[in-house]
């Protein structure tokens, strides 16, 4: 199960995620939210993975799709507070550091914009 909470921090949309990203319908909501927000003019996104305990390759695909949608619109999507287990999957998939910028905390993430 995945829960998603969104919040705006100075023009940066944070999606606080908790649970597991497994590519199922709940996980797909990440991409849907990014696409909706792009239509509304948002351009800066952060996925807070601090409470994500598990991610599989299908879940990584959801993150890639969200990233690609943002990139097509000249927008940024970054990650922060990525747990070791999730980092391992993202590195194995070649997504860290090649695709995603990853920051340890919210302050550093905001400063990166």
Determine the CATH number of domain 2-111.
Answer: 3.30.750.24
This prediction has a pTM of 0.94
**CA-CA distance, 91 to 11, in Å (whole number)?**
29
Q: What is the pLDDT of residues 59-73, one digit of tens each?
A: 999 999 999 999 999
What pLDDT band is residue 1 in, cutting at 50, 70 and 90? confident
Once rounded to an integer, what is the mean pLDDT over residues 47-52?
A: 97
Query: Starting at the edge strand that comes first in sequence, how are the strands of the sheet with 76-80 ordered?
Result: 2-9, 12-21, 44-55, 76-80, 102-103
Q: What is the pLDDT of residues 12-46, one digit of tens each?
A: 999 999 999 998 999 999 999 999 999 999 999 99
Domains of the chain by residue range = 2-111
Tokens 């990584």: give the residue: 60
């Amino acid at each position: 199960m995945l829960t998603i909470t969104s919040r705006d921090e100075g023009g940066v949309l944070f999606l606080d995620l908790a649970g597991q990203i497994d590519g199922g319908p709940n996980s797909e909501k990440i991409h849907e939210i990014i696409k909706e927000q792009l239509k509304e003019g948002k351009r800066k996104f952060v996925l807070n993975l601090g409470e994500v305990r598990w991610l599989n390759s299908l879940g990584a695909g959801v993150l890639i799709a969200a990233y690609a949608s943002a990139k097509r619109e000249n927008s940024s999507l970054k990650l922060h507070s990525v747990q070791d287990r999730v980092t391992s999957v993202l590195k194995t998939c070649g997504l860290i550091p090649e695709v995603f910028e990853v920051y340890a905390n919210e302050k550093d993430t905001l400063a990166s914009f």
